[in-house]
Structure 1
Amino acid sequence: MPRIIIVFCFFCLIQHCVAAQERSFGTLPLINKPGIVLASSGSKKIDSVQYRRVLNIYNRLVQARGDFRFPVPSFNLVAEERRVAGIDYDQLNIVLEEKALGVCNSFGADADAAIAFLLAHELTHYYEKHAWRSGFADENKDLKISVEMNKLADDAANETEADYLGGFLAYSAGYGLFQRGAEIIQGLYKAYGLKNEIAGYPSLSDRQALSRRTAERLANLVDLFEMANLLSATGKHNLAYEYYRYLLLEYQSREIYNNLGVTVTLSTMEEIGTQKYRYPLEMDLESSAQKAAMLSPGDPRVQEKFRQAILHFDAAISMDPNYAPAYLNKATVYALMGDLVRARFYANVEARQASKTGNYPKVAQDIDVLMGIIEARSNNVKGAQALFTKADKAGSALAKINLRVLLKQPPLKEIPAGGLWLDAEKIENFSLDEVARDLRVDPKKTIMVKSRMEFLQTPPIGTASTVFVNLVNNDQKTIFHLTEPGYTGKTARKIGLGDPRANVVKVYGEPARSLETPRGQIMVYQNILFIIGKDGKLERWANYQ
């Protein structure tokens, strides 16, 4: 049965940079220096190379948050010594003081991450509406409820949440897991000559302790996000769906809504039996001829699940109208539903415009692939061939595969183990069987995703890899052993980080399934997967079972 491969854009924690909107909102300063008035009007604003550098970091954070339902605060670097960083809600303006920038710059290679830590903290106050309760109380002092609400205000809880969710925001923007928050706080107190105790704030020692604990919790949240992506890539869609739902209770972002929609779609595609076209995002290891048809694409139950996926993509779009991956995925679902009119519109109009506005070049390639599929399904073979050829020349691996399908050429296949490739796949000298036999659990990193479903991690078994485990009903395990960036080892077939996709295909063959991302692709083989990045080069890989 011929198959044509359709495209989903799946987010893997990599963002694009656009300028924040110049708009502005009450002040929740990071630190309130005693005896200083906090109004920022008239502050001396700095326009320099340093300002533009910090503004770029700020813009990356705004774009990573991807929530444009509210006006975006403007940003200023100011020459004053009042509050380190804070928000002026009257002017809708976030400020960072020059002295605080100096403290961040003292962190050397981690300076940009330190700046992102402070700015993401303030942005989180804004997006989580931490000023609303105290603002309501101040404006309605004559009402009993306002007095009660003011008593309930918990500045320490807000500060902790701003560190936690702000840290995830900084990670999403590409600044990594910054775990030196306690050091920054100490450096700021020293630079500003502050005492350990400040009225209205936790003590310095408490803030440092909270920062360290928050960093640990943040690391678990990031790992859970990565596990959700890995589960979806390897076809464990129902498990991945529960992970994304858990994440949404902690943090709402366009990427999580988008990935939730992708997971619903992939899960629904598994319920569709033999059809004219095959879609690799089914994560199906069997051909259609080997599986009995379960439901048709037109079945009301299938259509309802596809509509649910569209609602998730719409939620992502509502947060960021220029988030091109969600438009592309929405178009893909309409194509699967058989509504090619809407599929054309969302792919060729909405997604294409958003890919230009939001600077998503990889999505632009994938739009051509999807449009090629739509033309093929409309019996326009020449049009489909032209679109696939265009995307192929631009470097799209999916276009090359689909072109072979369209021209009725035999598909490229995986190269199985055996012959020259007899060695077991290992990471840091451990095969997955060895990891599974001695599976220890770090109780501090265990997360109960839902009843009878746990996300587990093992203590480190090396210096540059991580082991993730999903446990269901105390006995059903899904295990991933994932390399970290910078890992210097090789796979059993001598593939290492930085190798181009073509090298992977040369020794492993073309994968039976894959999942697109806004930057590249996840190539899924039998018990090993490769994460390809922006330049078509290998960024990480994982052994799994």
Structure 2
Amino acid sequence: MQYYLLFALFLLGYSNSYAQSKAQEAKAETCEKVYREIAQAINDPRPLPAFNFIYQKGSKPYYNAYYNPQNNSINFGEGIYDLALEFGADSLNALAMVLGHELAHYYKDHGWGMSFGTANEDSEIADKIYEMELDETQRARMEAEADYFGGLFGYLAGYNTLEVGGEFYSRLYETIGLPDSTKGYPSRKDRIAICDNSQKMLQDLLPLFQMANYLALMGQEERAARAYAQLAQQFPGRAIYNNAAVNFLLAALKEYKAEDLPFQLPLQLELQSRLEQNSKGNRQPKKERFLAQARQMLDKSLQVSPNYGPALLNEIIWALLKEDRDLALFKAKRLAKNEEMPAHIQDKAHLLIGIILAQNGEEKAAKKQFKQLRKALPDLAEANLSALKSKRWQARQATKRQEISGEAERYDKLPLAELPSYFENNQPDIIQMMERQQEDSPELLLIASRLEQKEALLLASYGQANEEEIWGFLQFNADYQGETARGIKIGSRQSEIEKLYGFAANSLSTGKGKLLYYPLAGLIFSLDQNGQLDRWLQFSKLQ
């Protein structure tokens, strides 16, 4: 252990004895930014290890990164940064993979001198490290564990570490000239397999994530929130918690009378219409339960990332629905002034200020606020300006933009009605069970199978008296060569869809595009960032 400490101090001295250029300092700043983002996503209360960027001296690259338990620091060599830079658009993803790996050594309590790259070129020092209490099998297990959790940690922070991981390992081994098998480390083949297996695990969660989006789009907010909450148990990302909170808030909104809250709230979903007055009035018990569940999910999202804009925005909406307008106004003003936030988050905070002012009876000030947002948030600004004039504006507008009836959708190779019998006779690829959390909340079962060019999904819901409701979905993926009954195919644009199917009853922004909901046709269209169709779903209630 004494030799290991000397080795660590030698490296630190090496890094500090050389005057750095501005370009090198920029590299260090980039690495530390990614490092802190990953640590924030991990959300562990233990003190964060110090971060040291090891500048290379002269032309010889320093390909090394390691966790030093002696002084609780993570040390990152400039050569690793330069190697990651070769990945172009994926360079930050590659950096995140290495930094996540080293943080995994710390957070998984490995507590010994791991070295990511060239390990220790000094054979005497290397021998002393290998003589520690851990044998070769244990070291290899810890390295494999760091590869696995490091990739997931980076992914939780928003970096696509799993897709780039295998290729980065191959490039690292080739660049440094490492043998495919190294004492005390997983083999090159095993490390690539770890990345592939982690990627597969996330792919298996994808149908649950997609189903949550589809349920939200279809107005089944409580089921959507349950699906997101289930997903968060297996993949606890800030966005997943926030999505669960959004849908609990939307479910709570349905428990309000339309005239009590006629304004459009920026809940990170596109315009949602509550066209009819709730004849049951304000149902307090259910509303309060939804709000409590939303608060719980918002807290978890903000624990993972305290400055996550969408969650901070939804926290204001939560306070507004709890009728704590003073708190809502305070938080909205603070968020609107936060220059570190993206412009669209600040704009929506200003919109909420307008809504709160209107509810406080300051309609002139609210009108001014909405008018200032006509360019940044045209739909929301106009909707809320009209709401100031008429609480029935939404209902009048809805009659102008309707879905067009037409030829029914058919897919003869596997009709939707045959999905239950299909799953009875074929082993599904994925099964997700969401147990009942409250006496009046549904129990959900999702099963899915991957077929050629498409996927089959079945969602079963069981209510209070175990009444069964089954929905079937067929998802036609990007490589599908066919068309819908009215001629829409992969690559079609929204204008083409609207020409043949009319206007969607609802839409949902996904971060990578948009989902369009057509209940009469039984279709959901998914558009990419360029506004082109990248997949669609045919759906039907089967029972």
- Does the alignment reach a TM-score above 0.5? yes
Pick the aligned partner of 1:87 from 47, 61, 67.
Answer: 67
Residues of 2 paired with 1:383 and 1:111: CA distance?
A: 47
Deviations 1:392-434 (A, max 9, x none): 221342222232333335324532123xx658599xx999959
For the Cα contact (< 8 Å) 1:160–1:214, is it kept in 2? no
* Equivalence for 1:23: none
CA RMSD of aligned residues (A): 4.9
- Residue type at the aligned position of 2:349: I
- Could you state the TM-score of these two structures normalised by the residue count of structure 1? 0.69
Residues of 1 paired with 2:233 and 2:508: CA distance?
A: 25
In structure 2, do the counterparts of structure 1 residues 255 and 204 end up closer, same or farther at CA, with 3 Å as the change threshold? Answer: same
Residues of 2 paired with 1:407 and 1:258: CA distance?
A: 32
* Equivalence for 1:59: 33
Residues of 2 paired with 1:365 and 1:493: CA distance?
A: 39
* Equivalence for 1:16: none
* Equivalence for 2:537: 543
1:121 maps to 2:106? no
- Residue type at the aligned position of 1:328: L
Pick the aligned partner of 1:292 from 276, 279, 283.
Answer: 279
1:368 is displaced (CA, Å) by 2.5
- Residue type at the aligned position of 1:130: K
1:514 is displaced (CA, Å) by 4.8
Pick the aligned partner of 2:330 from 333, 340, 345.
Answer: 345
In structure 2, do the counterparts of structure 1 residues 193 and 541 end up closer, same or farther at CA, with 3 Å as the change threshold? Answer: closer
Query: Secondary structure of 1:338's match?
Result: coil
For the Cα contact (< 8 Å) 1:372–1:385, is it kept in 2? yes
Matches within 5 A, 1:311-326: 311-326=296-311
Query: Secondary structure of 1:476's match?
Result: strand
Question: Sequence identity of aligned pairs in percent?
Answer: 23
- Could you state the TM-score of these two structures normalised by the residue count of structure 2? 0.69
For the Cα contact (< 8 Å) 1:425–1:543, is it kept in 2? no
- Residue type at the aligned position of 1:41: L
In structure 2, do the counterparts of structure 1 residues 167 and 196 end up closer, same or farther at CA, with 3 Å as the change threshold? Answer: closer
Q: Show structure 1 runs of 5+ residues with no match.
A: 1-25, 27-33, 136-148
1:167 maps to 2:122? no
Residues of 2 paired with 1:533 and 1:353: CA distance?
A: 32
Residues of 2 paired with 1:169 and 1:335: CA distance?
A: 34
Query: Secondary structure of 1:87's match?
Result: strand
For the Cα contact (< 8 Å) 1:260–1:312, is it kept in 2? yes
* Equivalence for 1:302: 287
* Equivalence for 2:224: 240
- Residue type at the aligned position of 1:392: R
1:329 is displaced (CA, Å) by 0.9
Q: Show structure 2 runs of 5+ residues with no match.
A: 114-132, 437-442, 463-467
* Equivalence for 2:237: 253
For the Cα contact (< 8 Å) 1:455–1:468, is it kept in 2? yes
| More relative contact order, 1 or 2 (CA 8 Å, 6+ apart) | 1
Query: Secondary structure of 2:331's match?
Result: helix
Matches within 5 A, 1:175-194: 175-176=159-160, 178-179=162-163, 181-194=165-178
Deviations 1:257-283 (A, max 9, x none): 322222322233334455433468799
* Equivalence for 1:30: none
Query: Secondary structure of 2:366's match?
Result: helix
For the Cα contact (< 8 Å) 1:117–1:166, is it kept in 2? yes
For the Cα contact (< 8 Å) 1:439–1:458, is it kept in 2? no
Residues of 1 paired with 2:459 and 2:414: CA distance?
A: 18
In structure 2, do the counterparts of structure 1 residues 96 and 308 end up closer, same or farther at CA, with 3 Å as the change threshold? Answer: same
* Equivalence for 1:140: none
For the Cα contact (< 8 Å) 2:38–2:100, is it kept in 1? no
Residues of 2 paired with 1:272 and 1:48: CA distance?
A: 57
Matches within 5 A, 1:281-430: 287-289=275-277, 292-293=279-280, 295-296=282-283, 299=284, 301-349=286-334, 351-354=335-338, 356-357=339-340, 359-408=341-390, 409=393, 410-413=396-399, 414-418=401-405, 424=409
Query: Secondary structure of 1:235's match?
Result: coil
Residues of 2 paired with 1:102 and 1:331: CA distance?
A: 43
1:479 maps to 2:466? no
